[in-house]
Amino acid sequence: MRIMTWNVHGIFHLNPGFDLDGVCSVIRHWSPDVVALQEVDSRGRTDDPFALLAKAVGDHSVDARSIVTQDGDYGQVLLSRWPFAEPPTISDVSYQEREPRRAIAARILSDFGEMRVIATHLGLSIHERHAQAHALIDLVQPTRTIVLGDFNDWFWVKSVRGVLARICPVRTRLRTFPARLPMMRLDRIYASRDLIIRSAWTDRKARAYSDHLPVIADIMFPD
């Protein structure tokens, strides 16, 4: 199974015309089965990026709009080549008065059997992320589970990975931010201990569209 996560925020200032075709071309180039995209923003636009991105992988998608305004919305999307076993759930993982945050939890009926996939975008402060990581644990199953997104996690103190690794110890370790000279591992894919990440990589060509690099991983099922 090929998994991908990408924070596409940079398309709004690195790519002023918001070349959605370019973004979709990066996704289609790698032909992933499941994709999580963060910081999708329709504010101030006449088209709907959420709808346009929904067809980049297959016919199955769900979005979580954490900020909704009269001028447009802001949030994340989860795209899947395979159908959902049931309508995905959107959990509010916001922390106190900070920016609203959401987590998408879906059961996907893949060719390899049912999978639990959780996509999210966590906050900027240490205490915020730590609380949100514990909220994610309540959504995770002990087997056949993937958690992916932008975790904004770069400190060891109260780290997200320290929390998630208890149940999803398999993870990517790629530097993704800033895209031009990546130094921090903000974007990750976590997997339950029964799964194997066979290989994981980024795409430097994606620098033309975002200030984050995507993370792509091939995941194996030992059984």
Q: Indicate whether 13 pLDDT > 70.
A: no
Which positions ≥6 away from 21 have C-beta within 8 Å?
A: none
Helix (H, G, I), strand (E, B) or coil at 137: helix
pLDDT value at position 47? 84
pLDDT tens for 112-165 read 999 999 999 999 999 999 999 999 999 999 999 999 999 999 988 899 999 999
Predicted TM-score (pTM) of this structure: 0.95
Domains and CATH numbers, the chain: 2-220 (3.60.10.10)
The answer to which of 23-37, 43-57, 161-175, 185-199 has the lowest mean pLDDT is 43-57
Q: What is the pLDDT of residue 15?
A: 55
- End-to-end Cα distance, the chain: 14
